[in-house]
Amino acid sequence: MEDVNMTKKQRAAAAVEKLKQLYPEAICSLKHTKPYELLLATRLSAQCTDARVNIVTKTLFDRYRSMEDFAAADVDEVAGIIRPCGLFKTKAKDLVGICQKLLLDYNGVVPDTIEELIKLPGVGRKTANLIVGDVYHKPAVVTDTHLIRISNRLGLVDVKEPRKVEDQLRKILPPEESNDFCHRMVHFGRDTCRARGPRCGECALADICKSAGKL
């Protein structure tokens, strides 16, 4: 059974190892060929499955082949293409605005810090962390809905606000492990530790989980 005396750091270390076994490769499931494409795909992923984002970006990245193409794009036309992803008016404005600002203020290079990335329209800390981690291979904590839910269930954190979850996880995760850990948590959340109906009976982390058998 779960050891109630485990510290959060010990629990985190155990979760890191178990998830490595479950998901040897920590894959980002958003298809892309360039950093700015990953940035746009991540913006599209809000309230939308990655599978659908990948269907839409296949058409989108074929229609607009460069940052310059996006910067000059008609927002309504972009909105028409990305409609199935939801929130399409805001997202369309953001995609065009992101590329315009990248060209104007960053010489067409996607910035490598959270502080600069969140200055781009529609880019918050979740998206910024994903870019910092996946493109620049720096320590990142990608606080998507899965990470927040599972971190609370496991007992790694005791807060819901994305910013606080990020800060608490930074304190207990080895920096070199945090990015892959976040990717694995997403897969774990889809497969086992689901929002509703978590499959505790077949969960490999039940023995280190604060909520095992209580959901």
Note the residues at the interface with DNA (CB under 7 A): 28-30, 42-43, 45-50, 52, 83-84, 86-90, 118, 121-128, 130, 142, 144-146, 149, 160-162, 183, 186, 189-190, 195-196
| Residue 209 marked in a binding site | yes
Nearer to DNA, 18 or 164 (CB): 164
Q: Name the residue among 159, 139, 132, 140 with its Cα closest to residue 148.
A: 159
| Residue 203 marked in a binding site | yes
Nearer to DNA, 8 or 125 (CB): 125
Q: How far is the CB of 126 from DNA (least distance, A)?
A: 3
Q: How far is the CB of 16 from DNA (least distance, A)?
A: 17
Q: How far is the CB of 170 from DNA (least distance, A)?
A: 16
Nearer to DNA, 13 or 48 (CB): 48
| Residue 200 marked in a binding site | yes
Q: Which residues are catalytic?
A: 126, 144
Q: Name the residue among 161, 129, 132 with its Cα closest to residue 148.
A: 161
Nearer to DNA, 2 or 184 (CB): 184
Cα 142-162-123 angle, rounded to 5 deg: 60
Positive or negative, the CA dihedral 63, 64, 65, 69 is positive
DSSP characters for 131-200?
HHHHTT--------HHHHHHHHHHTS----SHHHHHHHHHHHS-HHHHHHHHHHHHHHHHHTS-SSS--G
Of the chain, the end-to-end C-alpha distance in Å amounts to: 15
| Residue 99 marked in a binding site | no
Q: Name the residue among 3, 12, 30, 14 with its Cα closest to residue 144.
A: 30
Q: How far is the CB of 11 from DNA (least distance, A)?
A: 22
Q: What are 145's two structure tokens?
A: 């809905």
Binding residues for [4Fe-4S] cluster: 193, 200, 203, 209
